[in-house]
Structure 1
Amino acid sequence: MKRINKLKSIIDEIDQLIQKNVTSSSPEFQAWRTKTERFLISEYGNESYEVSEFQKMHFTLSAWVLGTPQSDFIAACKRGLERAKAILTTYLDELEENEDSEAGINAYSKLKYEFSGIRAVVEEYTDSGFVINFLNGLEQGINFTDKIKIKYYLRELLNWYENNWTNICNDEYVNNLDEHERNKLLIKEIFEGIDDCDFLKNDGVSECNQSYEPIILLSHRSTDKKYGDAIEKLLSSIGIKNNQLIYTSHPLHKIPLDKNIYEYLRESFGRKIFVIVLWSNEYLDSPACLNEMGAMWVTQSDYTNIYVPSFDFTNPKYYQCAVDKNKMGAVLDGSDNCKASIVELKNKLVEMFGLDIDENQWIYSLDQFIEDISN
C-alpha cells in the first residue's frame, strides 16, 4: 500500500505542476522528475522498460529556437506531463491489481507463481553448486507437492541470503540490488507462511478438473499489445470463443470482474491449458510475466513460443527461463517461415478445440494477420 500511495502522490503533483505553468527548467519540475525516476527505479529496476521510457520522455521543445515564446515551452512541458500522467496511471492500475491479487493468495500458490523469478535473480549472482542444488530441490518440492522438501530448501535459500547479504550489497557488479532485496523478503514471507497451507487442497489441480474444456492463455507484456491484438484477431477468426482465451489486454478476454487474477489463473490452469508466450525484451523485465511462466511450468502446460521481430535471443534473462529453448517458435517478421509456423499453430488448435473452419476464410485471415504484423 505504501508504494501505491507514493505513486498516487507523484501523479497528483502533475496536476499542480500543470496549473502552475511550470517549465522543465523550474526547480519544482526537476524535483518531481527526480522523485519519479527514483520511484520507477526502485519499483522496476534501473534497466527496466518503465525507467527507460520515462527517461526518454521530452517535457519541452527539443531545441531552443531564438525568439520562441515562453508559452510554447510551457505548452510543450504540459503535453509531456499529461503523457507522463497517462503512463504512470497505467502503472498505478497494475500495482493496485497486483496488491489486490496478492492479498488473497497463500504462500504455496505464491511460491509456484514466483519461483521462476526467484531462480533467475539468484542464478544471475552465483553458480555455486550448493545454491543450484537448493533451487533444484525447491523445484522438485513444488513439482511433487512435497511440503517438507519445500520448507527445507526455502530455509537453506534464506540462510544463504542472510550469510551473503553483506557481500551482495557491496558487490560492484550487482546492479539489481532491489531485486535481491525483494527476493530475500519474498522467500522469508513464503517460508513463514508455508505451514499454514493445506497442500491437499491447494496443490493445484484435481484429476476431475482435467476434463474441463481447454483454454488458451496469451502470456504477454502490455507494451506488446499491437502483436497481441493481431494474434487475438487471428484466433477469433478460426473460431476460438471469448471464454476460451485469456488475453488481459483485450476487453473480451480479460479476467472477469471481481475475480482475483492469480486465483483465476490457478483455476484456469486446472483445465487443459495451452499457453502462447509472446516473447519480447520487455516481457523478460516483467515480474508478472515471469510469474505466469512459473505457473505454466509448475502445471506442465503445453505451450508455443512466438517472438516479436526485435527480440534479442542472446538476452541472458531468456536462458534463465524455465522453457525449452530448442522448441520451435515463430518470429513475427511476416516471412514464409513465420507463415508456415502460424499454419502449424492453427492446425494444433483446430485439433485441440475440435474446430471446423472454412479454408477460404482461413487463407484470408492468415493474409490479414501477416499484413497486420508487417505494419
Structure 2
Amino acid sequence: MLAFWLAHYGFEVTVIERSPAPRKSGGHAVDLFKPAMDIIEMMGILDHVEAQSAGTEVLSIHREGKRLIDLPEVLVFSAVSERHVEIMRDDLSEILYGASAPGAEYIFGDSITDLADDGAGVRVAFDRASDRRFDLVVGADGLHSHVRGLVFGPESGYSHWLGQYLAVASIPNYLDLSDRALMYPQVDKIAGMYSAAQLSDARAFFLFRTPEPLDYHHRDVGRQKALLGEVYADVGWELPRMLAEIDATDTFYMDSITQLRMDTWSKGRITLVGDAGCCPGPAVGGSTSLAVVGAYVLAGEIAAAAGDHARAYPAYEAALREYVEVSRKLALTASGTLVPKSRLGLCTLVHGARILGHLPSSLTRSLSRLVAARRINIHDTFALRDYQGLISR
C-alpha cells in the first residue's frame, strides 16, 4: 500500500521482504472498512478486491442441543462501517503486490540487520545484500517489528496485552462451509470455522482469555499449538476434530491481542506504519483498515512536504492519532464483548444474538439502513485528505 502511493507521487521505492517470494501463508480473513475501501477505489483496484470477497453472509452461533442462531453479516458490521469488504489476507496481499510492483523495487529473501541515521540519510545493513543508503526508512513489519526494535528498543516498552490471544489455522473444510461462519462461544473463549468462495479448505479461529501471559516465542509454532490444545482440551462441539487437524497443518498463526502505545512513531528519518507503530489489537481493532489509511496518509504527507521528513512525519502522526485512539477504544470494547468473561456475559451475548437473529429480513435491512443514516458507524470517522489535489496546487 505504502509502496503504491509513494511511487504514485514520484518517489523511488524499495521494499524489503524476508520471505523468498510474495507471501501465501494461508492467512485469515481481514476487514476493510469505509476509509480503506475509499482508498482502494482511488487506487483503481476496487473491482479486484470485491471480486475476492470472502462471501460470508451469515454468522451462526452454536449452542449445545439447540438450533443455530443465524445473524446476517450486514447487521453485524453495519454499526462499525457503512462500507465493508471481508477478504482473505493472502488475496489482499496479492492484489496490493500486483498494484505496487510495477513502480517499486522488491527485494525478497532478505532482512534489515542495522540502521544508521546520520541526519542526511540512513545507511541500511542487510542480512544478505550489501549495505545501501536511503533518504527515508519506514518500518511496516507488523506487531513484532524488527525495525521498531532497532530504532526504539524492546517491544516490552510499548506493548500492552489485552489479556487475550488469537489463533487461526487452515484445516480441511469438512463441514462444507461456503457463505456461513460458525462460532461456538464459551466463558473466556470462543472457537469457530469459516471458508470463502475461492478457498478449497477452511479456517479455524480461536479467541481466548488467560489470567497471565502465556510463555512462548511468537515463532515457536509447536509450542503455540500445544498451548492452544491445553486451553480447548475440555471444550466439546467440533474442537476435538479441529485440534487434530491443526496438529497436522503447516499454516498456523497465533499471537497475543496486544496494543502498541507509542508517544511517537518517528525518529529522525525513520518512521513506522500500521501494526509496527500503532497496533490497536489484532482481530478486534480494525488493524488492517488502520494500516491502509496510515500508509495513504504517510505517503500523502511525504509528497505534500516534497520529501521533507521533518514536516511530513509530524503531520502524518497528527492526522492519524485520533483514528488510532478510536480503533484502540473499539478493540477494548470488542475484546470484552466477543469473549464473555462470565456466564452472565455469555447469556447476554447469546440472547442478544438470538433477538437479532429472529428479526425479519426486511426489518434487518431497515435497521442496517437506519444505523448508516444516523452516521454512527465507528470506523467511518476518519476523513481522507485529497493529497493529489493538494500537491497539484
State the TM-score, normalized to the length of structure 2.
Answer: 0.27
Largest Rg, 1 or 2: 1
User: Could you say which structure has the greater relative contact order, defined with CA pairs below 8 angstroms and 6 or more residues apart?
Assistant: 2
Taking structure 1 as the reference length, the TM-score comes to: 0.28
More helix by share: 1
